[in-house]
Structure 1
Amino acid sequence: MKKSLLPILLSGLIACSTPQQKDTEKTTPMTYQFLVGTYTNSPEQGIDFLTVSPESDSINLKTLVSNFSNPSFVLANNSGSLVFSLQEEAGKGGGKIASFKRDLSSNHLTLIDSLETGGDHPCHIALSPNEDFLILSNYTGGSLSAFKVDSEGKLTFSQLIQHEGKGTNPDRQEGPHVHSSTFDKEGKHVLVADLGTNGVYVYDFNPENPESLTLQEKVEMTPGDGPRHLAFSPDGKEVYVVQEMTAVVEVFDYNDGKMTPKQRLSLLEDGFDGAVGAAEVRVSPDGNNVYVSNRGDANTISAFRKGENGSFELIAHYPSGGLMPRNFNLTPDGKYLISAHQKSGDIVVFDRNLETGELKETMLRTKGNQPVYLFPIN
């Protein structure tokens, strides 16, 4: 009786093809994409786009939108279809907020809308969890500007909130300087860092009626701190505040709009003597590590890990790879940290140890024009 050769041939084909498919999956390099906010000094400059593929030793930077002055902060919605950028300028109507439609295949940005913020030098944008509300922080103006956003990206002015007061430093805190606003994890409150009045303002936010932010309380910081940016832990139970002027990251317990001081962590080496300017704070996806950049004469990124008792301890103060690390960010998977430098123009890639949180500078770097913000995008 003759046996069919078909099963033998099929099994041979499967045996040959399966390893090849697996090898293809293993060798496909991961590429990370970032919108890049910049300061500009020529019409050719504007919003940039960064692609990084560490496994293939590839890094590329290009300009998406030119002739767009000082887009120092830029972000996108979750799908990446809408992009929002400010223009950090001053004038009769303050700075500007602009919305763009993004072509997901070509990354081309098409302007949808542009409105004045009503406050000078906007420097930060917050997008509500429902993606239908924007808050602009006007640094020199000392105010908040709120805008509604429809599904097509059209903007409607909603509210302007003016802060009042000052701090103890006559050079930096002569008046209000709103530096950032951040929605909490539940989207019920907005925490606003005001460097000039030395406090974090907690505003109530109603997603059902987002046209009215109402102040709950002002949380005073240690005199002379100058709160700048903040970030929440993944579970929303802690908040980390960068104190720009004292080079400290402060840890607070957080519960339904209430902040309770917990720990202050220095960003300085023992015996450091020089100018400081703490800038950005990022949290690892697992919540075990906090990273903070420090400008001035330090030019470092400080890394901390959470101990078994819930307190943070220093891993190291790492050289940031350039001058004036105003901003940096982690890749969404936490494998890499990308550091951007306003003064030297360097954008530098670091390996991040997923177990220990330690950083190691790679050879991957590129130059840009005053890169000052990095936003990961799909």
Structure 2
Amino acid sequence: MTTTPITYSFLVGTYTDNESQGLNQLDFTPSENKLEVRTIFPGIQNPSFVVANSEGDKVFTLEEIDTVPGGNVVSLGRSLKDQTLSKLSELPSFGDHPCYLALSPNEEFLTVANYSGGSFSAYKVGENAGLTHLQTIQHEGSSINQSRQSSPHVHSTVFSPDGKFLLVSDLGTDQVYVYDFDQNASEPLTLNNTYKVTPGDGPRHLVFSNDGSEVFVVEEMTAVLSVFDFKDGELTPKQRISLIADNYEGKVGAAEVRLSPDGTNIYVSNRGDANSLSVFAKKDDGNYLLIQQTTSGGSIPRNFNLTADGKYLLSANQASNDIVVFERDVETGKLTQTSWKVEINKPVYLFRLGD
């Protein structure tokens, strides 16, 4: 009896320099020593973020550009047979430089964060992935770093696992906003409360624990992982853990935070001069401990993701134009860099297919 080799597939968002570049698909088959990437939707500008529905036949991406009335949100059909993409709809993001997308847990709504615009928008996902614009919310304010925080910069929009809340990280105002989400309302989002992080932190991305009781926020400008308890829409600070050593000298730029599929480890990337991946484990007392720091295998690890079985982590290194594979010890969570690496122009996001 022969078994079919396991192939892990990811959609890859990139920054583009010409019309031949765009969205890509990466396929990784360890048992056959194969790591391949190909462009599956060229001609789109800076599709720096990409998500798909659970079936894998609908894909949503964006064009991270600044035009009137903003960048664009694009929905695509994906053939499960030959894995090709075709455009279904396109709408403005209603804010400059869209940089993050999120599908609601029921996959009926889509949100987009506009970094330069300091706003975010919500859409209804209709039949054939057609999008209807529902609402755009503009943030106001600033924080202490005048070169980076003179205005709002919405960097991520993340639904709670139960779909009742949308958490919005704003690097420019140093706040995480908690919005109530009512899918039956014509404008589904209403501000519940805000949490002010340490001034100068610059909250970027966040992720929920699998049960929704904890939230992990990566602070871009101070290279810190902030851990919160989350209950009834309220964030309660629990831990603040640095990604860098006390004697570290150099630039930082913390980027992505992800949870291992089994929920036992947290992973965070740090750009700047560090170019590192940090691994955290949960202790018996419920707190988290930094257990490893390792190189990302390249330069500017803007994004990374894990395979669904937790056996591998793939690091997308924007400045060195490559994606590097690490083996993950499923018992400890620690990473070991492998020899697998593939070249690709400015990879900045990895979305895991097949979940």
Q: Does 1:35 align with 2:22?
A: no
- In structure 2, give the amino acid aligned to 1:164: E
1:1-378 counterparts in 2 under 5 A?
Answer: 21=1, 24-25=2-3, 28-209=4-185, 211-378=187-354
- In structure 2, give the amino acid aligned to 1:252: F
- Separation of aligned partners in 1, 2:270 and 2:232: 30
- Separation of aligned partners in 1, 2:213 and 2:31: 35
- 3-state SS, counterpart of residue 152 of structure 1: helix
Deviations, residues 181-233 of structure 1 (Å, cap 9, x unaligned) = 00001100000000000000000001333632000011000111000000011
- Separation of aligned partners in 1, 2:185 and 2:298: 44
Q: Which structure shows the bigger proportion of residues in helix conformation? A: 1
**TM-score if structure 2 supplies the norm length?**
0.98
Question: Which structure has the larger Rg over C-alpha atoms?
Answer: 1
- Separation of aligned partners in 2, 1:62 and 1:179: 28
- Separation of aligned partners in 1, 2:262 and 2:10: 21
- Separation of aligned partners in 1, 2:187 and 2:286: 38
Deviations, residues 125-176 of structure 1 (Å, cap 9, x unaligned) = 0111111111110000000111111131101111110000001110110000
- Separation of aligned partners in 1, 2:125 and 2:211: 27
Q: CA deviation at 1:276?
A: 0.2
- Contact 1:46–1:68 (8 Å) recurs in 2: yes
- 3-state SS, counterpart of residue 326 of structure 1: strand
Q: CA deviation at 1:283?
A: 0.4
Q: CA deviation at 1:268?
A: 0.7
- In structure 2, give the amino acid aligned to 1:197: T
- Separation of aligned partners in 2, 1:74 and 1:298: 26
- In structure 2, give the amino acid aligned to 1:237: S
- Contact 1:132–1:151 (8 Å) recurs in 2: no
- In structure 2, give the amino acid aligned to 1:251: V
- In structure 2, give the amino acid aligned to 1:58: K
- Separation of aligned partners in 2, 1:367 and 1:259: 40
Q: Which structure shows the bigger proportion of residues in strand conformation? A: 2
- Separation of aligned partners in 2, 1:210 and 1:363: 51
- In structure 2, give the amino acid aligned to 1:55: S
- Contact 1:285–1:332 (8 Å) recurs in 2: yes
Q: CA deviation at 1:54?
A: 1.7
- Contact 1:133–1:210 (8 Å) recurs in 2: no
- Contact 1:198–1:226 (8 Å) recurs in 2: yes
- In structure 2, give the amino acid aligned to 1:36: V
- Contact 1:269–1:317 (8 Å) recurs in 2: no
Deviations, residues 84-111 of structure 1 (Å, cap 9, x unaligned) = 0000000111000000110001111010
- Separation of aligned partners in 2, 1:143 and 1:31: 38
Instruction: Number of aligned residue pairs: give it.
Output: 354
Q: CA RMSD in A?
A: 0.9
- 3-state SS, counterpart of residue 325 of structure 2: strand
Percent of aligned positions that are identical: 54
Structure 1 stretches of 4+ moved >4 Å? none
**TM-score if structure 1 supplies the norm length?**
0.92
Q: CA deviation at 1:269?
A: 2.7
For residues 210 and 324 of structure 1, do their structure 2 counterparts lie closer, same or farther at Cα, with a shift above 3 Å needed?
A: farther
- 3-state SS, counterpart of residue 264 of structure 1: strand
- In structure 1, give the amino acid aligned to 2:318: Q
- Separation of aligned partners in 2, 1:157 and 1:306: 40
